[in-house]
């Protein structure tokens, strides 16, 4: 076992205190260190070109409420990242300051922090420290030999400081299909520019990777969204299209109406399958692949607008007997209001019906209260990805209709962070593969609709859109969710991690009222770069500073924020 190099500095005489105090009299704060303060500087690990160090300050005296420790390096060492303190460097001079979250200051007047650094030909310990301008002097233990570099495995990151979030890519969960939103089901289509804003990957674009569109019972209406769907396919990256029907043609239903529910008559099951297939082939002829086709939107809800009522058994019978008629797409069952398993279990439990579908769908209305915002084990057993295909919430309207155009409105941000973003996080933890919001263009949504009463600009990204893009833009289709562990310091954070496309991506929610600064994130291997993007009340997917060392990055996570850290492997 290698013995860490340790240097202990202590005030040894009153004369030394007076001399040091006189030299920096104008810089000493009222709460200066008391006589007897000491500093332990220990090189805890060292490797070729780098090292980790831990520093403990004892006998802080009046400096408990705020301290600044300074020292100088004599061999060109450079601090690269720190934890439990803010550490800056100017030339050889290093300054460490306590931070508000630091738990290292105990009632006995002790503070501790750590950092990583780089070195070249040698790595001697500092010979003196000053605490709030008062110099501590002592023996540097010159007999301690330098620490030899440990043998390194090129596939293993060098030893470094303790991580607050550690990604474990050996444990893998669901493959992500994407994050998206719906077009207007009964209204006009998105414009080309609006579509590009929603699905594009450039600056001030939101990166949606799924577009949900309505499958009208009237074929003459199918052309409405062709151009926007073609734009989505061309402007995004691997964008998937989900087509959802609200009803069959009225003449095929038991109530002879498009609205108020009513069942599809069994003698029209084949016609309905042909209807779905005709839509898919029409779109295909227009250059638009319909990746997923739902059998029915909300079979358990029959309001006074387009709707159709099914039981789970009827859905099973339809996809079992007619599902193979719908070509060049994958069928989805059943988009029930709250992912009610009664509408999906019968299909999953029937071999023929199960083989005729590709996806399980469900909505989020009441799902969490029903205890179903969790892994759907039967779907996982048969390798059927679960998509959350609709949710809509804008209770913040009660704070004033024009608040949606104000990016600094607290009520809007709180609802976005605590409800929408939290449920995206929970859905990913539940092993669901997709999360699709309701309308992408609406005053309470991702881009504004221009309604003057609500204060939004048509086509302009809204705060909720920037927040959602923290998932959509950086967790791309085909990425796989992987495991992670957190330290106690990171416990307020809600984090999921993903790997794919040569990247490891973490989405981090901090819904607490305290920042988690200098959080150290450990990747599964050495990385070439790290990028950090943040949305909060005051920032919109804004790039944030981060430092990288081997397989680690250090980031600041502000209170009440959502951010994304992207490692490039």
Q: What is the pLDDT of residues 78-113, one digit of tens each?
A: 887 666 678 889 888 999 888 643 333 444 567 777
Cα–Cα nearest to 446, from 474, 412, 398: 412
Q: Name the phi and psi angles at 316, rounded to 5.
A: -60, -45
Residue 12 has pLDDT above 60, yes or no: no
133 conformational bin, left if phi > 0, alpha if psi -120 to 50, beta if neither: left
Q: 50: how many CB neighbours lie within 10 A of its CB?
A: 21
Residues 166 and 483 sit within 8 Å (Cβ to Cβ): no
- Looking at the chain, the whole-number percentage of residues with pLDDT higher than 90 is 69
Point out the least confidently predicted range of 78-82, 264-268, 336-340, 345-349.
78-82
> What is the Cα–Cα distance from 122 to 108, expressed in whole angstroms?
35
Distance CA 116, CA 370 (A): 47
6 band by pLDDT with thresholds 50, 70 and 90 = very low
Helix 192-199 with 226-235: angle, nearest 10 deg: 40
Bridge pairing between strands 539-544 and 547-549: unpaired
Which pairs from 248-252 meet CB under 8 Å and 24+ separation?
A: 248/217, 248/272, 248/275, 248/308, 249/217, 249/218, 249/275, 250/217
Query: Of the ranges 195-199, 453-457, 463-467, 565-569, which one carries the lowest mean pLDDT score?
Result: 453-457
Q: Is 48 exposed, middle or buried (0-12, 13-18, 19+ CB in 10 A)?
A: exposed
The neighbouring-strand residues paired with 485 are 166
**Contact call for residues 504 and 483 (beta carbons, < 8 A):** no
Rounded-to-integer distance, Cα 209 and Cα 437, Å: 12
**DSSP labels, 222-288:** GGGGHHHHHHHHHHSSS-EEEEE-S---GGGBTTSSSBS--BBPGGGHHHHHHHHHHHHHHHHHTT-
Residue 316 has pLDDT above 90, yes or no: yes
Helix ranges (DSSP H) in 138-268: 192-199, 226-235
Per the CB < 8 A criterion, the answer to whether 537 and 410 are in contact is: yes
Rounded Cα–Cα distance for residues 110 and 37 (Å): 10
Percent of the chain predicted with pLDDT > 70: 84
> Residue 6: which of 39, 41, 37 has the closest Cα?
41
Q: What size, in residues, is the chain?
A: 569
DSSP H/E element including 115: strand 111-118
Residue 34 has pLDDT above 70, yes or no: no
Higher pLDDT: 197 or 13? It is 197
Residue 16 has pLDDT above 50, yes or no: no
Q: For 89-225, where are the alpha helices, taking DSSP H only?
A: 192-199
Q: Tell me: the pLDDT tens digits for 372-420? A: 999 999 999 999 999 999 999 999 988 777 889 888 899 999 999 999 9
* Contact status, residue 113 vs residue 85, Cβ threshold 8 Å: yes
Q: Which residue has the higher pLDDT, 226 or 150?
A: 226
pLDDT mean over 561-568: 98
Helix (H) or strand (E) holding 464: helix 463-472
548, 524 in Cβ contact below 8 A?
no
- Write down the pLDDT at residue 162: 82
Asked if residue 334 has a cis previous peptide bond (ω within 30° of 0), the answer is yes
Q: Is 349 left (phi over 0), alpha (psi -120 to 50) or beta?
A: alpha
Residue 315 near residue 346 (C-beta atoms within 8 A):
yes
Contact (CB, 8 A) for 534 and 544: yes
CA distance 431 to 496: 11
Largest CA distance in the chain: 103
Is beta strand 111-118 parallel, antiparallel or unpaired with respect to 93-97? unpaired
Strand-strand pairing, 516-522 and 165-175: parallel
Count of Cβ atoms closer than 10 Å to residue 180 Cβ = 28
Query: Among residues 331, 531, 358, which one has the least CA distance to residue 433?
Result: 358
CB distance 436 to 388 below 8 Å: yes
């Amino acid at each position: 076992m290698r013995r860490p190099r340790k240097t202990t500095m202590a005030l040894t005489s009153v004369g030394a205190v007076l001399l040091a105090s006189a030299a920096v009299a104008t810089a000493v704060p009222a709460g200066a260190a008391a006589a007897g303060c000491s500093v332990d500087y220990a090189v805890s690990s060292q490797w070729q070109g780098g090292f980790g160090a831990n520093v403990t300050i004892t006998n802080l005296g009046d400096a408990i409420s705020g301290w600044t420790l300074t020292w100088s390096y004599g061999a060109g060492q450079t601090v690269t990242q720190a934890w439990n303190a803010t550490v800056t460097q100017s030339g050889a001079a290093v300054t460490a300051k306590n931070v508000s979250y630091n738990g290292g200051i105990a009632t006995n007047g002790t503070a501790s922090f750590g950092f990583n650094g780089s070195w070249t030909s040698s790595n001697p310990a500092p010979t003196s420290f000053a605490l709030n301008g008062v110099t501590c002097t002592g023996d540097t233990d010159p007999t301690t030999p330098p620490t030899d570099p440990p043998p390194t495995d090129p596939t293993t990151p060098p030893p470094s400081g303790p991580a607050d979030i550690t990604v474990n890519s050996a444990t893998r969960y669901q493959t992500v299909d994407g994050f998206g939103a719906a077009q207007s089901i009964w209204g006009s289509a998105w414009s080309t520019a609006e579509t590009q804003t929603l699905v594009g990957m450039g600056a001030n674009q939101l990166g949606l990777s799924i577009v949900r569109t309505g499958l009208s019972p009237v074929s003459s209406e199918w052309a409405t969204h062709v151009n926007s769907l073609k734009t989505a396919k061309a402007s995004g990256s691997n964008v998937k299209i989900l087509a959802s029907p609200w009803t069959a043609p009225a003449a095929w239903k038991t109530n002879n109406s498009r609205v108020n529910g009513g069942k599809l008559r069994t003698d029209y099951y084949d016609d309905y399958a042909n209807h779905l297939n005709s839509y898919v082939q029409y779109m295909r002829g227009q250059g638009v692949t319909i990746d997923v086709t739902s059998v029915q939107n909300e079979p358990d809800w029959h309001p006074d607008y387009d709707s159709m009522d099914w039981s789970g058994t009827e859905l099973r019978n339809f996809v079992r007997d007619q599902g193979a008629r719908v070509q060049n797409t994958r069928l989805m069952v059943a988009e029930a209001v709250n992912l009610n398993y009664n509408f999906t279990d019968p299909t999953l439990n029937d071999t023929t019906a199960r083989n005729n579908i590709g996806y399980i769908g469900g909505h989020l209305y009441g799902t969490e209260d029903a205890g179903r915002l969790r892994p759907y084990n039967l779907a996982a057993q048969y390798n059927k990805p679960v998509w959350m295909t609709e949710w809509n919430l804008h209770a913040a309207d009660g704070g004033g209709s024009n608040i949606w155009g104000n990016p600094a409105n607290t009520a809007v941000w709180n609802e976005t962070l605590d409800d929408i973003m939290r449920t995206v996080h929970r859905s990913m933890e539940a092993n669901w593969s997709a999360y699709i919001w309701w309308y992408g263009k609406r005053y309470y949504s991702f881009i504004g609709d221009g309604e003057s009463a609500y204060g939004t600009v048509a086509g302009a990204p809204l705060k909720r859109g920037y927040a959602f893009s923290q998932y959509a833009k950086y967790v791309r289709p085909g990425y796989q969710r992987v495991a992670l562990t957190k330290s106690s310091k990171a416990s307020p954070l809600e984090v999921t991690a993903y790997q794919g496309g040569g990247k490891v991506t973490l989405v981090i929610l901090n819904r607490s009222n305290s920042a988690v600064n200098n959080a150290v994130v450990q990747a599964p291997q050495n990385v070439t770069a790290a990028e950090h993007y943040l949305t909060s009340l005051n920032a919109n997917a804004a790039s944030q500073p981060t430092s990288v060392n081997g397989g680690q990055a250090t980031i600041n996570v502000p209170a009440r924020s959502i951010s994304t850290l992207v490692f490039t492997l």
